[in-house]
Amino acid sequence: MTPRIGQSRERLAQLMSTPVRRKYFETLLRMLGPSGLVSIREEQFFLVLAIAIGILAGFCVVLFRIAIAEARLWLLGSSMHPSAPRVVLVPAAMGLVIAVLAVRFFPRVRGSGVNQTKGALYIYDGYISAETVVGKFVLSALAIGSGQSLGPEDPALQIGAGVASALGRWLKLSKERLRLVTPVGAAAGLAAAFNAPITAVLFVTEEVIGRWSAGILGAVVLSAISSVVVERWFMGDEPLFRVPLYHLDHAGELVAYAVLGVVGGVASLVFVKVIKHLRPRLRSLPQWSQYVQPGVAGLLIGIIAIWYPQVMGAGYEWMDLAMHNRFPWELLGIIAGLKLVSTALSFATGTPGGLFAPVVFMGAMLGAAVAMAEQMLFPAFAVPVGAYALVGMGALFAGVLRAPMTSVFMILEVSGNYSIILPVILCNTISYVISRGFQPVPLFDLLSRQDGLDLPSLEEERGQTALLVEDAMHPSKVRALRGDETIRSAREVVAGGGEEAFLVSLGEGRWSVLGREALADPATDDGLAVRVLVRARVPRLYQDQSLEVALRFIKDRPMLPVVHRDNLDLLMGVVSVEDILGAYRRAGLPEPETTESS
């Protein structure tokens, strides 16, 4: 390939005879690099690749959504109220088919796509098999289309991650980049499924990557944006829900919203506890039962759906109706409760599909129910049902999935309505606090531990006490030496002490460490400045930095200076390895849990 490109370049050079043409040609040559080939750093290429991943994941998610809709039409018919025999038989029969396919051919499609993506990132070096992606696509479409109470977002996330993984392997990315490519694809998949790029970026950062990393953020953002562009290109750019603009007329309204926060928190807690207890019990049943469990779940859901068809599938169409006063509050409450049961059944039996849509469904129903109940109790009080339903979605999302920032932005993005932010923040916080207070381990961590995996969790990191440099540092017994003072003066300063090393301030925030031996060397002229003895500089620390940073910098140095941020030559204290270890010992931090205790 290279010689041919070279020949072409020579031929081109001959063609570029005029000065103007030559100028452009020379620019092109510079761009092509010294060896005549494009040379870019991998992280730059990674950003370009992120766009390609976003586009491909966008295609996949669009096709996935159509597959779900087609499956629904094929299996349940076009009406919003399918006939009773169909409602009972289809989810049960398809449950059996899905179980056989899942157990025999696609064993990795069961369970949470979020955790599997996280597992790919932390355990399998970014590897998600093609058969998992295909299985997730087909089986999730069949499951959701046949009325199992699950949503498309979680599978979309894993499909996106799978596409990214396949692309990364095909392009022979380095191991480090291959590992990082899965969250990039996951963000693209989720963004396209929710039509919400910010939500996807935040969720992937909070739940999949588990930490804020500048190195990958750019790629995640680019992939999310490109996939949403693709999704909107094909499916339109209307927000998922349309509700009238909300106006907070009086601060007292927030009290009414707080009630919803409490209801949402309790409902989240109940849902997580049900999943927590039901899933391991069903998994502990004999192996043959794995073939029938999704079918039984489908049958039960079908029976419920004879009277309450709202529990079937993702249920977005019903959420829209609930936001527009379509159902009385009692019915909304019943639907929310039955959806909880149906979703727990579908998910705990290992039917492929996600929890996002059912969770926001429950939130919408509860929100609308609370609004209508408040309206009934206080008729003079104007209660916007649509706004409550939206806020309810956020409350459940924050409580169940425990991604508080994502939950706020999700509501803003799916409604295109910024005016609702205050109630959303309030309710989400209340719901999050209640859920966290009574269920310390978040749902996704719980699921991964039930699957025998222990994946890092940002949620748990939030709960951990971060030790700072100020917790370990101590004042220096000897004043810091100055680089411009004489060695003689320095020897006088350190004389009599037992320290083996001393800090030297070189001015302008530069510091070094000098050993007693070097300072006391009689061969050195004591009239010279201390600076001449300095071999290398050492990094400085600040009191508010974490001890992890200090540990990373200290290496084999005897100590590091802790300085004032406002005056980099002002020594506040010193830190040594012993100080750092001592601080960790004193803090007595709990050891990380490996299993969830009931």
Around Cβ 99, how many Cβ atoms within 10 Å? 25
**Position 245 contacts other proteins (CB under 8 A):** yes
- Using only C-alpha atoms, the chain has a radius of gyration, in whole angstroms, of 30
> Could you say whether residue 536 binds other proteins (CB under 8 A)?
no
Pair 237, 197: CB distance under 8 Å: no
Number of residues that bind other proteins (CB under 8 A): 51
| Cα dist from 181 to 54, 153, 172, 373, whole Å | 11, 19, 12, 47
Degrees, nearest 5: CA angle 166-171-173? 95
72-91 residues near other proteins, rule: CB under 8 A: 73, 78-81
* Contacting other proteins within 24-43 (CB under 8 A): 33-35, 37-43
Report the residue from 244, 463, 497, 509 that binds other proteins according to the rule CB under 8 A: 244
The reply on whether position 66 binds other proteins by CB under 8 A is yes
Q: Are 512 and 504 in contact (CB under 8 A)?
A: yes
Between the CA of residue 117 and those of 169, 179, 595, what are the distances in Å? 15, 10, 20
Q: Which is nearer to other proteins, 206 or 413 (CB)?
A: 413
Angle between helices 84-104 and 293-307 (to 10 degrees): 160
Q: Taking CB under 8 A as the rule, does residue 184 contact other proteins? A: no
By CB under 8 A, name the one of 98, 188, 209, 243 that touches other proteins: 243
The H or E element that residue 538 is part of is strand 537-538
Taking the least distance from each CB to other proteins, the nearer of 118 and 177 is 177
Q: Considering the complex, what minimum distance in angstroms separates the CB of residue 442 from other proteins?
A: 33
Candidate segments 173-181, 307-315, 451-459, 517-525, binder of other proteins by CB under 8 A:
173-181
For other proteins, which residue of 50, 56, 92, 559 counts as binding (CB under 8 A)? 56
Q: Read off the tokens for 501.
A: 């090393």
Nearer to other proteins, 236 or 452 (CB): 236
Nearer to other proteins, 325 or 450 (CB): 325
Of 565, 522, 561, 563, the closest CA to residue 538 belongs to: 561
**220 counts as binding other proteins under rule CB under 8 A:** no
Min. distance of Cβ 130 from other proteins in angstroms?
14
Q: Which residues are paired to 513 by β-bridges? A: 503
Find the shortest distance in angstroms from Cβ 323 to other proteins. Answer: 7
What DSSP string runs through 516-531? Answer: HHHHH-TTS-TTSBGG
Those residues whose C-beta lies under 8 Å from the C-beta of residue 482, and which sit 6 or more positions away, are: 504, 505, 530
Task: Check if the beta carbon of residue 57 is closer than 8 Å to that of residue 204.
Answer: no
Rule CB under 8 A: say whether 496 interacts with other proteins: no
Question: Per rule CB under 8 A, is residue 2 in the interface with other proteins?
Answer: yes
| Comparison of 119 and 309: residue with beta carbon closer to other proteins | 309
Residue selected from 386, 423, 442, 573 as contacting other proteins according to rule CB under 8 A:
386
Are the C-beta atoms of residues 146 and 101 closer than 8 Å to each other?
A: no
Q: Does 247 bind other proteins (CB under 8 A)?
A: no
Q: Is 163 exposed, middle or buried (0-12, 13-18, 19+ CB in 10 A)?
A: buried
Find the shortest distance in angstroms from Cβ 553 to other proteins: 17
| Stretch of 193-201, 283-291, 304-312, 321-329 contacting other proteins, by CB under 8 A | 321-329
For 112, counting Cβ atoms within 10 Å of its Cβ (0-12 exposed, 13-18 middle, 19+ buried), the class is buried
Handedness of CA 73, 75, 77, 80 (dihedral sign): negative
Nearer to other proteins, 15 or 73 (CB): 73
The stretch near other proteins (CB under 8 A) out of 247-255, 318-326, 393-401, 438-446 is 318-326
Nearer to other proteins, 73 or 581 (CB): 73
**What element of type H or E holds 166?**
helix 153-170
Q: How far is the CB of 569 from other proteins (least distance, A)?
A: 25
Looking at the Cβ atoms of 242 and 474, the one nearer to other proteins is 242
Determine, following the binding rule CB under 8 A, whether residue 325 of this chain makes contact with other proteins.
yes
55 binds other proteins (CB under 8 A): yes
Q: How far is the CB of 551 from other proteins (least distance, A)?
A: 20
Q: Whose Cβ is closer to other proteins: residue 60's or residue 425's?
A: 60
Residue 139 interacting with other proteins (CB under 8 A):
no
382 binds other proteins (CB under 8 A): no
Q: Return phi, psi of residue 249, to 5°.
A: -80, -30
Based on the shown chain and the rule CB under 8 A, indicate whether residue 306 belongs to the binding site for other proteins: no
Beta strand pairing call for 510-515 and 481-482: unpaired
Of residues 135 and 384, the one with the C-beta less far from other proteins: 384
Q: Give Cα separations from 218 to 50, 180, 496, 597 (angstroms).
A: 9, 12, 55, 38
Which residues here bind other proteins, judged by CB under 8 A?
1-2, 33-35, 37-45, 52, 55-56, 59, 62-63, 66, 69-70, 73, 78-81, 167, 170-174, 177, 234-236, 238, 242-245, 317, 321, 323-326, 385-386
